[in-house]
A = this chain, B = another copy of it.
């Protein structure tokens, strides 16, 4: 990936003309010149603090790089503040070295090496964290390394009878899906970061994906795992279920490298769907649509993908799409049905044709009974086509001087709109002129997740302050409204200061006790999940 943004060169996402107009009209962003990121060679990279001779004598099971490219590429994840810093060439946080390995023995040797020298160690998978999860913080140590796990990428085994697979952590999601596909299987885990995320990163970050309403979150798919910690191995065999005490799997899933390095996971898989069908539905309002989705989910009739955009997100996505003849036709159709200015929902079903037909029938009957107007497959296909497009678009917006960020939370159905309104208000107060959009991204029997996207004109040179103000305002609103500080982006560095409010002082103390036991020197990913 490009160090300053998403994807590789040649995968750019130029803004449509309609979007240009919209940015000027709604955010007062002039159509001025692009701000290009600094070139790799021009970056002023701090010297590595590690001793070159010492690095030359490491174990054979892992290797070390201290070159510019390796250090820059491991200096940050893909959060907005990361991109701002990387684009401007601020590499103060670059790791002193990048270790890499192709084996779990190599991971253990690397941790032993870090332990013996007092070097902080940041596990690095796909590097797609949007919450500062891979930022090479030193903690109380003078040096820090990034431990690249991409070489740890074997599909260890497939149990077709139990429908489980064991995968090493560095396996990219597309690589995993390709190997599973050859056997007619799928994990069904498709986060927006799909193209660059590793399976170990998903497990470490407790991720949910776009289809998790149907396939389940990663924490529901992990049945067993292996973690190398500085004090030894945690090896939890796969169990379909157990009453054998507290569930240690759930202590490792979501630990974000703060306890150790997850080296492999044993995961539930499913038969690869023979059919996928995505359709659009319109509702008169976000409230009406949310109520329909609640009824759907609580009746056990939810599709595999269920998303509902609020009025602003619906309006913006139509506008960004360019407002062509088709969109105008859709608009006329909706107005005729009394849902002008309404909200767009996308529903997707995956499986064998019988299953898709049966479940789709139930979904649609309930949606229609609760105010939904069917828009056919075109909006569904458009969503599928653009499902991984967001991060590319973000790069383009940054180049245009736009502040753009996302965040997500979840809460009970009964408090969903209190939370929705509070976060929207907080962001508008913090940002001034801005666009705040939201969609319901995942359904649960007891509640749903809300995914916010917000844009404003970037405050030149003060982007990080602007970001902090917005992030803080939104996080306070979430906590005050009883939501979780993150539904699928993890804690990382950015949410660590808010986690104590959610987990409580004793909850944090319990996590710190586990960390002290597994990572006594505190070398593992300092400042992530748990504050420094």
A residues contacting B by CB (< 8 A) are 159, 161-164, 205-208, 217, 219, 223, 229, 231-256, 268, 270, 294, 298, 300, 355, 410-415, 442, 444-449, 482-491, 495, 499, 502-507, 509-514, 516-518, 529
Contacts and interface: CB of A to CB of B under 8 A. Distances in A.
Contacts of A159: 412, 414
A461 B207 CA distance: 56
B161 A233 contact: no
A240 B447 contact: yes
A254 B246 contact: yes
B490 A243 contact: yes
A499 B223 CA distance: 17
Given A162-B446, A243-B486, A250-B251, 7 more contacts: A161-B413, A234-B504, A241-B442, A241-B444, A246-B254, A510-B514, A513-B513
A415 B253 CA distance: 25
A245 B447 contact: no
B518 A506 contact: yes
A153 to B, nearest CB: 23
B513 A245 contact: no
A506 B234 contact: yes
Contacts of A253: 246-247
A331 to B, nearest CB: 33
A135 to B, nearest CB: 17
A162 B411 CA distance: 10
A270 B355 CA distance: 24
5 contacts: A162-B412, A243-B484, A247-B247, A247-B253, A249-B250
Given A510-B517, A517-B509, A255 B245 contact: yes
Max chain B CB contacts within 10 Å: which of A217, A245, A253, A484? A245
A472 to B, nearest CB: 17
Number of copies of this kind of chain in the complex: 2
Contacts of A163: 298, 445-446
A243 B250 CA distance: 11
Contacts of A507: 234, 236, 248
Contacts of A217: 241
B240 A529 contact: no
Contacts of A513: 513-514, 516-517
Contact of A247 (B219, B242, B298): B219
Given A506-B233, A506-B518, A514-B513, A410 B240 contact: yes
Given A217-B241, A251-B250, A486-B244, A518 B510 contact: yes
Contacts of A235: 504
A284 to B, nearest CB: 20
B506 A447 contact: no
B247 A413 contact: no
Contact of A446 (B164, B503, B511): B164
Contact of A514 (B223, B298, B488, B514): B514
B487 A243 contact: yes
Contact of A241 (B208, B232, B236, B300): B208
Contacts of A243: 205-208, 254, 484, 486-491
Contact of A242 (B251, B448, B484, B517): B484
A240 B485 contact: no
A341 B205 CA distance: 51
A252 B245 CA distance: 9
A525 to B, nearest CB: 12
A492 to B, nearest CB: 10
Given A223-B446, A251-B251, A268-B445, A244 B162 contact: no
B244 A503 contact: yes
A516 B514 CA distance: 10
A514 B504 CA distance: 14
A432 to B, nearest CB: 29
Nearest to A212: B241
Contacts of A514: 246, 510, 513-514
A274 to B, nearest CB: 14
